Chains A and B, each alone.
Chain A
Amino acid sequence: MELADTVRWALLHPRAVFRGVRDLERDVSEDRWLCYVATPTHAYDQKTGEKRPPWPGEVFLVFVTEERVVYNWYWCESDRHESHLPADYETRFLEKVL
């Protein structure tokens, strides 16, 4: 249900969009990949598939390649100060584009 619902909702209602993965040590070519950050109004229980309130203290991330293919998504801890952004957002992306 996450792909059918939450992922599509996140792409339509991002709270922020980040570009690129900051990585000084490895030769990765993900500079044009995007990460959409959203705070959906509900989540799904992965075991039962049932709708539930959003996971507290977390934001939903959707990752998109430069060909604009969604390749992954998940909930992760939010930043302590900017609760609509993921933890470590300042160091894990190249730039904030939205």
Chain B
Amino acid sequence: MANEIDLNDAFARELTARVRTEPWSGPKVFPNPDGDCVELLLSNDNYRAERLDSLVTVYVNRENGELVGALVKGVRSFIRKMVERVPGFEIEIMDGKVKLEYLFTAGLWSHDAGANRILVQRYRKLREIAEDANLEVELEPEAV
């Protein structure tokens, strides 16, 4: 199967033109309303994805196993569920934004205490990073 992609077409040229060349300064949060997900990137290291559970996929550095980022999926339904189950959670949504650490905390709590060690470690690390960097995610109005 040869490479049939024309890297000189308009789409490729448009993307290439958008590539940023400045040094990485992280972490960064990328909300994606179409995919109802939020992506968190801590560095531009090479990574492979590892699915933690149905809420979070982590990006792991292939060389040293360090966290490079994460993808939080199903944010709308997750927030809706949280507000239904714990009405007080709505208090944590300020000006349509919620702290990313709360999503990781809620994700961690959705597992039983005996959940596997790596999963718990990953969640705790993500929560710590989100808290330290005071990361927030902006919600669409209908999400709340």
A residues touching B (Cβ–Cβ < 8 Å)?
1, 3-5, 8-9, 12-13, 21-23, 25-30, 41-42, 45-47, 49, 55, 58, 61, 63, 65, 67, 69, 71-72, 74-77, 88, 92
Instruction: Pick the most buried of A8, A21, A29, A77: most chain B CB atoms within 10 A of its CB.
Output: A8
Would you call the interface of chain A mostly helix, strand, loop, or mixed?
Answer: loop
Count contacts on B: residues with CB < 8 A to the other chain: 37
- How many angstroms between the C-alpha atoms of A61 and B73 in the bound complex? 15
- How many angstroms between the C-alpha atoms of A72 and B73 in the bound complex? 10
A-B contact pairs, 7 of them (CB 8 A): A4-B16, A8-B11, A23-B74, A46-B46, A58-B48, A71-B35, A75-B49
Closest to B54 in A: A23
| Known A9-B3, A71-B37, A74-B59; 9 more pairs at CB < 8 Å | A5-B12, A23-B54, A28-B54, A30-B74, A41-B1, A45-B46, A55-B62, A72-B32, A72-B35
User: Which of the residues A8, A12, A55, A63 comes within 8 Å of B48, measured between beta carbons?
Assistant: A55
- How many angstroms between the C-alpha atoms of A90 and B19 in the bound complex? 36
**Contacts A26-B78, A67-B34 given; does A9 touch B5 at CB 8 Å:** yes
User: Which of the residues B4, B57, B62, B74 comes within 8 Å of A28, measured between beta carbons?
Assistant: B74
CB pair A72 B50 closer than 8 Å: no
CB pair A63 B77 closer than 8 Å: no
Closest to A2 in B: B15
Q: B7: CB under 8 A from chain A?
A: yes
A30 contact set on B, CB distance < 8 A? 74
Distance from A55 Cβ to chain B, minimum over Cβ atoms (Å): 7
B residues touching A (Cβ–Cβ < 8 Å)?
1-5, 7, 11-12, 15-16, 19, 32, 34-35, 37, 39, 44-51, 54-55, 57, 59, 62, 71, 73-74, 77-78, 80-81, 110
B35 contact set on A, CB distance < 8 A? 63, 65, 69, 71-72
